[in-house]
């Protein structure tokens, strides 16, 4: 299996995770993020850092989409054509996934769509893409 295919499969797995997390009820989603908050506070509390439940929820949105975009970008990076020809596809995939993810929450008990979440999701997409574009540019300079 090529590196390009491997990263594309990982992007698919992250996308499935994104949609499965959105299918949870509000209570299930809250319990999961509360558990993550508790776990993080075990470590962060020892060094005097305090985070909120809201921060954990929004950071999860950003991170899920960062990972999806990172894996899509790596797949493109390792393809024969390189990253540049796939940039618009990666951007559109991130935006479409974010919109569909929020829309799907209308069908989960106690959940609703948030425009702010779409923006957070899409910022995760763009941050990963920009990071890989910078890495690609730096790697070409060294070569």
- What string of DSSP letters covers 66-122? HHHHHHHHHHHHTSSS-SGGGHHHHHHHHHHHHHHHHHHGGGSTT----HHHHHHHH
Average pLDDT over residues 26-43: 89
| Segment 65-77, tens digit of pLDDT | 999 999 999 999 8
- At residue 7, the pLDDT reads 97
Statement: residue 136 has pLDDT above 90: no
| Segment 88-124, tens digit of pLDDT | 999 999 999 999 999 998 888 888 889 999 999 999 9
Domain ranges for the chain, please list them: 3-137
Report the chain's mean pLDDT, rounded to a whole number: 92
């Amino acid at each position: 299996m090529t590196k390009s295919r491997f990263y594309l499969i990982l992007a698919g797995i992250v996308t499935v995770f994104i949609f499965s997390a959105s299918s949870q009820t509000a209570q299930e989603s809250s319990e999961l993020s509360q558990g993550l908050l508790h776990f993080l506070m075990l470590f962060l509390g020892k060094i005097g850092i305090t985070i909120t439940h809201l921060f954990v929820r929004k950071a999860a949105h950003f991170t899920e989409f960062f990972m999806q975009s990172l894996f899509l970008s790596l797949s493109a990076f390792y393809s024969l054509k390189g990253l540049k020809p796939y940039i618009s596809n990666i951007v559109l995939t991130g935006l479409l996934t974010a919109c569909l993810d929020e829309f799907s929450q209308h069908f989960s008990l106690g959940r609703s769509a948030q425009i702010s979440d779409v923006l957070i999701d899409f910022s995760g997409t763009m941050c990963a893409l920009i990071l890989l574009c910078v890495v690609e540019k730096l790697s070409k300079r060294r070569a």
